[in-house]
Amino acid sequence: MMARVQEVVVGLGSCGIAAGALVVRQALSALLAEHNLDIPVAATGCIGACHREPLVEVRQVDGTSYLYADMDEERTRRLVDEHLRGGTVIEEFLVPPDYDYLARQRKLVLANCGVIDPESIEDYLARDGYAALRRAVTAMSPEEVVEEIKSSGLRGRGGAGFPTGLKWSFARASGGDKKYMVCNADEGDPGAFMDRSLLEGDPHAVLEGMAIGAYATGADEGYLYVRAEYPLAIKRLLLAIAEAEERNLLGERILGSGFSFRVHVKEGAGAFVCGEETALMASIEGKRGMPSIRPPFPAERGLWGAPTNINNVETLGNIPVILRMGASEYARIGTEKSKGTKVFALAGKIRNGGMIEVPMGITLREIIYDIGGGIHGDRAFKAVQLGGPSGGCIPASLLDVQVDYDSLTATGAIMGSGGMVVMDEATCMVDVARYFLSFTQSESCGKCTFCRMGTKRMLEILERITAGRGRMEDLDRLQELAAKVRISSLCGLGQTAPNPVLTTLKYFREEYVEHIQEHRCRALQCRALIRFRVIAEACTGCGACARVCPTQAARGERKAVHEIDQGLCIQCGLCHEACRFEAIAVTTGDSA
Amino acid sequence: MEKRFEQLLDEWRDTKGNVIPLLQKSQELHGFLSREHMSAIAEVVGKSPAEIYGVATFYAQFRFQPPGRHNVKVCHGTACHVNGAESLDLAVKTELGVEPGETTEDGEFTVDRVACLGCCSLAPVVMIDNEVHGRLSGDKLKKTLRKVVG
């Protein structure tokens, strides 16, 4: 006889909701009511296996649990009938406990994500929540906290990898009675959602990290600068702050000590450059988010002129972990110069996408093949992009590189904030470079000439190449501009904007040359370089292509072979998508 | 000026760093930022209307025209890009006849291009009125848009 069911937990992170988790929860509650089953339905944050969402976990009184994947209304009905009422586990819906995707990870920062109810402070407290803060304010001096973080070897998880303890010591050393502690949650890299998942799944961990940082640096007021695009994260943070204040874990004279800390949530307004710390502070002050010259560094003169310490969400998520396990224990995880774990948002042409946390030192190959399950479909791996618009593309030949700050920088890419997008043979690397540059170009704040104009010229060159009008000398011009944009920009946005271009030129130069000399896009992505043609022998004359064609380029008599008028075709690919007989071929290049 | 807006101005008058929250709440209330509202905010925070306009136009979140009844956000995050977001742009364009940033003539749809909605494992995605539609193709998106107007 199976153990009794204690509760059923639905993953309600943004990705789960997008995949239909709310519908599943509703169906579940309705079915439980219908059968008079008194089983609580709880919510949790991102479990991390986004490719299997919506996820539902059945926890039993004896401590065992079953994770059901790809849930929908029909599967929910069977879950209620067979497992909850009948006591029979539905093996075919289960995520097996030894599933490589989950088994190969090391969850420190995300330990609570997908386990606790993020809207319940009791859940957090039950898992040693705020124990680290308590230890800091009651048993440690601020200097001791700074030392502890220094000796843990923790480096900033926002991308640059600056030692966190050192940063704190600068803010600690600054004089004045007013200091600020800021959490940078302006996660702007496209393809990155680690910070959102942590804020949604375990908001108290970030608040606890902030409070410890404030205690260590001497701040009494803090701001969480969160993207406005993250409404769920904002909602859960506000709730968490209120709950923590109620229990004197935030606010005045925390836990009876002399330390007070008030936190405000500030919504961003949609500007990528605000991820840069001086721009972020300008934005909090209500100005255009433009970076300013450092020095003075924020640790000396930051928000409203006061010494300010700024850390990324994931960095702060590490703080309670370090104080709980001890710096020396923490420093045993990872490599010599990169300690602890890193959270990545694994996406793109990968079989198992989602949010993962891995120990530093793991190889890219292990992440992509062992955890990610390899490439989606049966295509060949081409590259993995790290660090978003500031990062670079790493080719297959470098897949055995270790994930640590220095090894990744040596490839021309960067650790970055954690976006990891996998690309296959159907991804055009010139187009990828163009894509990232169009992003940084439009997000440049316009302050520095080379960032404003240099990226624009680079983008024009890349657009020309992808349109089949490139010239070989363009490649030298790109290199030249890249070097100048890098050295003539004030902030990280401009300094790193050329990285996607430089790494693709370095590792995939032949694709650039093919675009220029043969007007060929081997990935069949650059619209100006591809043609759609009907394969007469395969066409059944069903008319599906003609029905979807927006420009009437695809046409023909019913039951007769169709054709595509190249003069009218805009290469949208709808006909190719619609054809069920593989009768539409895509060709590229001068000889095609 | 209507009462709710005046209350808003009063509520935030003395808060440090109130410019962006005021712009955000004003847009929440009216759907967009009008000259009139921006001028009123300028007065409350003690800056010139030009400065306030300068701040508002810096950030992608703010719009200066009334939006359509339905909002369509085509995601152009990296994962969506490599999974065919461009073809979704084309589908929107051929279906609705507008470019990103524009509103259809009948005021039914406003189309935006956004950097990343963070639903990368469902790529390519489009958000229509706060609901995410994932694993789309051009054709599926067209059908979804037709369903929205019923």
pLDDT of residue A159: 84
Structure tokens at A542: 């069903």
pLDDT of residue A343: 97
Contacts of A267 in chain B (CB under 8 A): 20-21, 24
pLDDT of residue A381: 96
Q: What is the pLDDT of residues A460-503, one digit of tens each?
A: 999 999 999 999 999 999 999 999 999 999 999 999 999 999 99
Contact assignment for A193 to B60 by CB distance below 8 Å: no
B88 → chain A, closest CA residue: A572
Mode of pairing for the β-strands spanning A381-386 and A308-312: unpaired
Per the prediction, chain A carries an average pLDDT of 95
Strand order in the sheet with A392-395: A354-359, A341-348, A419-424, A381-386, A392-395
Q: How far is B100 from chain A (nearest CA, A)?
A: 14
Q: Domain A527-588, what fold?
A: Alpha-Beta Plaits (3.30.70)
Specify the 3-state DSSP secondary structure of A283.
Answer: helix
Q: What is the pLDDT of residues A387-432, one digit of tens each?
A: 999 999 999 999 999 999 999 999 999 999 999 999 999 999 999 9
Give the CATH number of domain B3-58. 1.10.10.1590
Contact assignment for A288 to B118 by CB distance below 8 Å: no
Please tell me the class of the A429-518 domain: mainly alpha
**Residue A274 scores a pLDDT above 90:** yes
Please state, in angstroms and rounded to a whole number, the distance separating the CA atoms of residues A161 and A166: 11
Sequence ranges of chain B with CATH classification 3.40.30.10: 70-149
B101 residue type, one letter: G
Nearest CA to A49 among A27, A28, A19?
A19
Q: What is the pLDDT of residues A62-79, one digit of tens each?
A: 989 999 999 999 999 999
| CATH classification number, A121-330, choose in 3.30.1950.10, 1.20.120.80, 3.40.50.720, 3.40.50.11540 | 3.40.50.11540
Please tell me the class of the A341-424 domain: alpha beta
**Which architecture, in CATH terms, is B70-149?**
3-Layer(aba) Sandwich (3.40)
Q: Scanning the structure block, which residue is given the tokens 């996998």?
A: A422
Nearest CA to A589 among A534, A524, A504?
A524
**Residue B116 scores a pLDDT above 90:** no
Please state, in angstroms and rounded to a whole number, the distance separating the CA atoms of residues A290 and A280: 8
> For B73-99, what is the mean pLDDT?
92
Contact assignment for A421 to B119 by CB distance below 8 Å: no
Contacts of B62 in chain A (CB under 8 A): 269-270
A236 residue type, one letter: R
Q: Which CATH superfamily is domain A5-97 in?
A: Glutaredoxin (3.40.30.10)
Predicted confidence band of residue A15 (pLDDT cuts 50, 70, 90): confident
pLDDT of residue A98: 72
Sequence ranges of chain B with CATH classification 1.10.10.1590: 3-58
Q: What is the pLDDT of residues A511-526, one digit of tens each?
A: 999 999 999 999 999 9
Contact assignment for B87 to A573 by CB distance below 8 Å: yes
A432 → chain B, closest CA residue: B82
User: What secondary structure letter does DSSP report for A81?
Assistant: I
pLDDT of residue A588: 96
Contacts of A529 in chain B (CB under 8 A): none
pLDDT of residue A1: 46
The residues spanned by each domain of chain A are 5-97, 121-330, 341-424, 429-518, 527-588
Of A290, A347, A570, the CB nearest to B120: A347
Q: Which residues contact B8 (CB under 8 A, 6 or more apart)?
A: B22, B25, B26, B29
Contacts of A229 in chain B (CB under 8 A): 114, 117-118
**Residue A342 scores a pLDDT above 60:** yes
Specify the 3-state DSSP secondary structure of B112.
Answer: strand
Of A193, A427, A548, the CB nearest to B118: A193
**Residue A549 scores a pLDDT above 60:** yes
Interface list for A 208-237 with B (CB within 8 A): 228-230
Contacts of A419 in chain B (CB under 8 A): 78
> For A11-22, what is the mean pLDDT?
89
Nearest CA to A395 among A475, A526, A525, A511?
A511
**A348 close to B (CB below 8 A):** yes
**B101 close to A (CB below 8 A):** no
